Every structure is written in C-alpha cells, then in structure tokens.
Amino acid sequence: MSQTYFAGIDAGSTYVKAALMDENQALVAFDQRPTGIDADGTSQKMIAAMAEANGIPADHIQNIIATGYSRRIISMARDTVTEIKAHARGAAWSAPNSIGIRTVIDIGGQDSKVIVLDGDNEILNFAMNDKCAAGTGRFLESLARVLELDISELGPLSLQSNMPLSINSTCVVFAESEVVSLVARKKKREDIVAGIHHSLAKRIAAMARKAGAQPGILLTGGGGRNAGIASALDEALLMDIHVPEYPQLNGALGAALIGMTED
C-alpha cells in the first residue's frame, strides 16, 4: 500500500518555508530558503528536493496548500489560505507537550500577528501589524546591523543582561539613532539588545491585549527562535510563552494539515 503525503508552502516575504507530512500527520521533511525574486520557482525546487530525498514519487503528494504573502503565485498549490488560518491550524500540532494553545503570536520578517483561538482551535479574533517595521523581524534586523551582530546572536546575548536599557522609539529609524547613542555612551551590548527586545515585546503585547489574548501562548515565526523575545514577551504579557520545536514552520505545517482535511 502506498503512502500519501501532504505539503504546505508558506511563501513569506523573506523566506519560503515548506513542510511535507504523511497521512498520519507526521512531519516527513521540511525546508526553508530565501524567497528571492521567484517564489514559485523556489518552492517547486523545495518540494522536488524534499520528495527526492525521501524517495517519494511526485504523484504521492496528494495535496499542496500555499499560504503567506506570495501564496497566490505558487503554481503547484491546489488552494491557498491566509497566514492567519494556517497559523491557527498549525498551533495544536506545534504546541510543545500538547499544551492547549489559545493564542498564537507570530513574529515574521515583515509583519507580526496575534491570533486568538477558542477551545476548539477556531479563530476568535486576530490582529496584524502590517504597516511598518516596528514589532517585526525587520526592526531587529536593522538594529542588529547597527550593533554589528548577527540576528542569531541577539537572543543568547540579551539573556545575559541584568539591566535592560530602555529604547523608547518604536520607529526603526529613530530606534537606530537611540541605539547608536547608547553605543557611543559605552553601554553594555547585552543591555542594549535586551532593551530592544523589550521595546518590541511591549509593542506586540499591546496588540495582543487589544485582540484579547488568552493564556496558552505559542510564539511562532522567526521571533520564536529568539529566546530574548520569548522572555521579554513573558514579562510584558505576564503569561507563559511556549515555543514550538520548529517555530518558523508553523504556517507551512498548518497549510499541510488543512490540505489533509479540506478537499
């Protein structure tokens, strides 16, 4: 008997993420590549590579669902869903130790969102920060550049801080100059970085409270890979923050799961 598989593609503005699952909802393979100028071509290569590496004939992939900013241009996809729906759907699968998730906070490269779920994982409400870089990965990226750090160094570094400094501007341009002046005043880098995380967390927490966030919070997207953000959010919201094993994959996983049930 041949297995059938389901794929989800999350074509974001910076990265394309793809997940391949079998019919028992087990994750078989996943991949992540920079979107580049050809999101469609990139995702075709990713699916082909994942199938080949696992010896799966192409026609055993029964359904492909696309989500993310560029979802409409993914030609292999049978259907598309919004990131909101995909993240909501991925939440239960991604939740560590099967914790009941009532709120997903997704911090992506270009936008961040808060999705509030009911007890049956259905969407109750959502909010998006989609207009400017404040509260998104881009905010961190630009500030990391000012500090001459790689984005992956931010999390561990900020956890060493005992006294986070305050960064008041949420606007990247002004925050950059604040950071520059803190550096000039010879402030500790870990304290600056922790301050940056707190500033971002404050912004996201306000959005989450407005949307009616409930305890049982899952942090996904690039933000989920940064332990500094998780801890700052925990403080800002006074709620436990749960981070899945593959935070960036949550949207793609959700899309694959949707493909399994919605025919």
Partner 1 sequence: MKISDMVAKRTRRLLKGVARSAAVELERLRSIPGTPEELNFFYDVLEAAYVRNDPAPMLDARPDKDLFVGVYCMVVPEELIYAAGAIPVRLCAGCFESSQIGEDRVPRDGCPLVKSSMGLSMQKGLKVFDLCDIVAIPTTCDAKRKLGEELSAFKEVWMIETPHIKDADFSRRIWMEQMYALKAKLETVKRNGTRGKRINARRMAAAIQDTARAQAEMRRLLSLRSAEKPLIWGRQATAVVNAFAYAHVNRWTEAVTRLNNRLAAMAENDQPMADSGRPRIYIAGSPSLFPNLKIPTLVEEMGGVVVADESCAGDRYLYDPVGSTEKNLNDQMLGVASRYLAPCVCPSFTPNDDRLTLIQRMITDFAVDGVLYHVLKGCVVYDFEVNRVENALRNNQIPLLRVETDYNPEDVEQLRTRIEAFIEMLKSKRSRTKQAVS
Of 114 and 230, nearer to partner 1 (C-beta) is: 114
CB 190 within 8 A of CB 181: no
**Position 146 contacts partner 1 (CB under 8 A):** no
Tokens matching residue 97: 């130790």
**Position 85 contacts partner 1 (CB under 8 A):** yes
Beta carbon of residue 214, minimum distance to partner 1 (angstroms, whole number): 16
Q: Which of these segments, 21-29, 75-83, 174-182, 231-239, binds partner 1 (CB under 8 A)?
A: 75-83
**Position 206 contacts partner 1 (CB under 8 A):** no
Q: Which of these segments, 94-102, 127-135, 152-160, 243-251, binds partner 1 (CB under 8 A)?
A: 127-135
Q: Which of these segments, 40-48, 51-59, 77-85, 216-224, binds partner 1 (CB under 8 A)?
A: 77-85
Q: Which amino acid is at 221?
A: G
Beta carbon of residue 128, minimum distance to partner 1 (angstroms, whole number): 6
**Position 122 contacts partner 1 (CB under 8 A):** yes
Residue 131, Cβ density class (10 Å: 0-12 exposed, 13-18 middle, ≥19 buried): exposed
**Position 263 contacts partner 1 (CB under 8 A):** no
CB 62 within 8 A of CB 4: yes
**Position 73 contacts partner 1 (CB under 8 A):** no
| CA Rg value for the chain | 19
| Residue from 82, 142, 169, 214 in contact with partner 1 (CB under 8 A) | 82
**Position 123 contacts partner 1 (CB under 8 A):** yes
Beta carbon of residue 101, minimum distance to partner 1 (angstroms, whole number): 16
| Residues written for the chain | 263
**How many CA atoms lie within 13 Å of 249's alpha carbon, on the beta-carbon side?**
22
Strand partners, 10: 17, 67
Q: Which of these segments, 18-26, 27-35, 120-128, 145-153, binds partner 1 (CB under 8 A)?
A: 120-128
**Position 203 contacts partner 1 (CB under 8 A):** no
Strand partners, 103: 116, 217
Of 113 and 242, nearer to partner 1 (C-beta) is: 113
DSSP 245: S
Tokens 């580049």, residue?
36
Strand partners, 24: none
**Position 214 contacts partner 1 (CB under 8 A):** no
Strand order in the sheet with 103-107: 123-129, 112-117, 103-107, 217-220, 241-242
**How many CA atoms lie within 13 Å of 251's alpha carbon, on the beta-carbon side?**
32
